[in-house]
């Protein structure tokens, strides 16, 4: 497997997870909110767009806006940190597992051509 193939596999695994994990966490939290808090939380389209555009950082904006408290900010910070660390650990594990061939050695340079 070449380094380019390994990169494609990493992107195919990590790319969707960077969107789906924050979206799932926010939807799970949304279902547990009381009706008054649920009414002022993000609608589904905004939640999906934020997860797509911001990835894990969408949780930093979602939790304080949905909870409207310092606890919401703390939850957002904790979940964002947990998701980023989890995705980083998965990236590290994938880079250790994927069989990447050593790149070929660079061609020897003969120096500048001087054909005067």
pLDDT digits (tens, 9 = 90+) for 88-115: 999 888 887 777 666 667 766 666 666 6
- Contacts within 8 Å (CB) and 24+ apart, 18-21: 18/55, 18/56, 18/87, 19/51, 19/52, 19/55, 20/51, 21/56, 21/83, 21/86, 21/87
Query: Residue with structure tokens 């799932």?
Result: 24
The model's pLDDT over 33-82, given as tens digits with 9 standing for 90+, comes to 888 888 888 888 888 898 899 899 998 988 888 888 888 899 899 999 99
Would you place residue 17 in the very low, low, confident or very high pLDDT band (cuts 50, 70, 90)? very high
Locus of tokens 């009381």: 34
């Amino acid at each position: 497997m070449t380094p380019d193939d390994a990169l494609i596999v990493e992107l195919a695994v990590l790319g969707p997870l960077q969107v789906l994990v924050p979206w799932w966490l926010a939807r799970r939290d949304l279902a547990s909110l009381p009706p008054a808090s649920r009414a002022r939380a993000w609608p589904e389209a905004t939640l999906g767009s934020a997860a797509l555009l911001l990835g894990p950082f969408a949780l930093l904006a979602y939790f304080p806006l949905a909870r409207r408290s310092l606890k919401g900010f703390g939850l957002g910070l904790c979940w964002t940190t947990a998701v980023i660390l989890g995705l980083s650990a998965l990236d590290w594990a994938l880079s250790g597992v994927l069989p990447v061939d050593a790149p070929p050695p660079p061609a020897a340079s003969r120096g500048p051509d001087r054909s005067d």
